[in-house]
Structure 1
Amino acid sequence: MRKFLFLLLLCLVSFASEKRVVAVDWTAAEILSFLEYKIAAIGDKRNYKIWVKEPNLDEEVIDLGLRMKPNLENLIKLKADVIIIPSFFEFNKNTLVQYANIAVIDAYKEGDLYENLIKATNKIAKIIDKESKAKELIEQHEKFFEKLLNEFIKFGDRPFAVVQFVDNKRVRIYGKNSIYGVSLEKLGLKNAIGDAFDFNLWGIATIPITSLFSIPKNTRLVVIEPNPVDIEREIKFNGIYRALGFFNDYIKIKPVWSAGGFISMQRFATMLLDGLR
């Protein structure tokens, strides 16, 4: 009986000491999920379910509304210990600091994206006392891609371009410093997109579809959903689509968050392999 009570006390102490962490931004939320840590609240939970989808959020995770302007009433009720925000939401810092400690952590910024993701993951791990867990999970992530390398060797003869349609005249295209670009590199695949376009901090450029004529003709196109364009119809009635030729064997992939972390990388790699098989 004493042993049972002692174990129960340990569990209660552990539960009580776990920090209530708020991730206003979805990237931080994914990193917390990667670290197997329960998020207390998130910005714009409703749209997270549409655009990010995975990792799934527990029903009890509180929705703080707009990421750029979180609901203060819900935040006050939550009594959070830490609120993680990216620097581009830092204009909220003076308001939010009244209710919890603020950690400004960026994964998407100048520099190498993969290194930035590792640093951001380690910073968040330090906040939640999961530094050894972070090291273990990052090592597992590296092994995941090492294992997939052999699967992708046979597909390395052609370059790849990852796009998402805005409409039938424009696409978002993902450069080497995007989550998709980093994944392609770790899979031993060549990204057909060089430095010809002006990419933002997320490695994304929005270009007219005619700009696709500038990439190698043997490029394998990867189209990220949701896709507002009926490609088959465009091929039939739009001479530009027919002339491009990329749509003869393009690969379609379900939504993967383009500003994600290691979980998004793994999902993209898995779905790309399924699409190539």
Structure 2
Amino acid sequence: MTAASAHRLSRRQLLAMAGAGVLAGLTPARAATGPRVATLDWAILETLLAIGANVVAGTELLQFRDVAVTPAVPADVADLGLRGTPNFEVLYAAKPDLIFNSNFYAWADERMRLIAPVESHAVYQHGASPYQRSEEMTLAIGERLGLPTGRALVDAARAKLDAYRINFSRGDHRPILPINLGDARHFRVFGSDSMFGEVLTRTGLTNAWPDLTSYSATAPVGIERLAAMSEAWIVLIPPHPAEAFEELQRSAFWKALPFVQQGRVLLLGSINPYGALPAAERFADLLAGGLARAWNG
């Protein structure tokens, strides 16, 4: 084995890590008993599902299944409709014992308290670490519901990112640019203060975008800005309009970019950009799998 091949990340090893039960997070059985819980917020919903809470209602479940993908939503969870205009009659009919809400939907607290007690958690706030807030939220919800899987999820996510940090250190050390297409001419980019950006930092990777993005993403950014990222891996994170990527691939400008010509573009599966620990783990897994395939041919 040459020094270069020894330094290169093992595709088999990294792909195994991305799918291994030890590091892939938790898939607990849904609680058959325990408090009946509901939420309007997707970061909270994915956390509740991941720790096996007895979830009875959530919002935009069809879209959640397409965008967040995991954790799976049981078929009997009631769909409350749009996050901005939830159906309170359906929420009442679901008979929750406790409703978890976030700062994004605080306007609904007063009405929901007529149905059940409301507890709020804020993952995404200016100047706050969404990853740290996700850990705090997961621990608080787990303790509130008497579920040790809250602590287990936090520990599993940390262990996964630590393991990826070790293995990514054997890669090509190029910066990563995580983006989401708006159309063929614009994208939004996830800075170091976003959840995706924090995952990059915690796994030892460098975010190619030099600026903060107000805890989420900066948009719209003109596609011409990519010309300054010639040394990076471009990581496309759906969901985005299918026609946008197809049109972009036909663009002479896109085809001329060094990372395109050198095969440094990764198209991941869809991930919730405003997710919590499950979304962080999903991003890490998909990125690890994509880089392993690219680095090892």
Shorter-chain TM-score range: 0.7 to 0.9
Helix, strand or coil: the match of 1:84?
strand
Which residue number in structure 1 is paired with residue 288 of structure 2? 273
Which residue number in structure 1 is paired with residue 37 of structure 2? 21
In structure 2, the CA distance between the partners of 1:154 and 1:88, relative to structure 1 (3 Å rule), is: same
Show CA shifts across 1:153-194 (max 9, x none).
222521010111110011111111212111111221101111
CA distance in 1, matches of 2:105, 2:172: 40
In structure 2, the CA distance between the partners of 1:213 and 1:142, relative to structure 1 (3 Å rule), is: same
Task: Tell me whether 52-61 or 112-121 shows the greater mean CA deviation.
Answer: 112-121
State the TM-score, normalizing by the size of structure 2.
Answer: 0.80
Q: How many residues align?
A: 258
CA distance in 2, matches of 1:65, 1:42: 8
Can you give the 5+ residue segments of structure 2 that lack an aligned partner in the other structure? 1-30
Which residue number in structure 2 is paired with residue 258 of structure 1? 273
State the TM-score, normalizing by the size of structure 1.
Answer: 0.85
1:43 paired with 2:59, answer: yes
Matches within 5 A, 1:23-172: 23-110=39-126, 111-130=128-147, 132-172=148-188
CA distance in 1, matches of 2:247, 2:220: 22
In structure 2, the CA distance between the partners of 1:121 and 1:224, relative to structure 1 (3 Å rule), is: same
Larger relative contact order, structure 1 or 2 (CA cutoff 8 Å, min sep 6): 2
Show CA shifts across 1:34-69 (max 9, x none).
222231110111211221121110001110111122
Equivalent residue letter for 2:101: I
Q: Identity rate of aligned residues, in percent?
A: 23
1:193 paired with 2:209, answer: yes
Which residue number in structure 2 is paired with residue 9 of structure 1? none
Which residue number in structure 1 is paired with residue 231 of structure 2? 218
When the two chains are superposed, the root-mean-square deviation of aligned CA atoms in Å is 2.1
Helix, strand or coil: the match of 1:175?
coil
Show CA shifts across 1:238-274 (max 9, x none).
3432343332320110101111122112221121122
| Bigger radius of gyration | 1
1:245 paired with 2:261, answer: no
- List, as ranges, runs of 4+ consecutive aligned residues in structure 1 with deviation greater than 6 Å: none
In structure 2, the CA distance between the partners of 1:160 and 1:65, relative to structure 1 (3 Å rule), is: same
Is the CA contact 1:156–1:190 (under 8 Å) kept in the aligned structure 2?
A: no
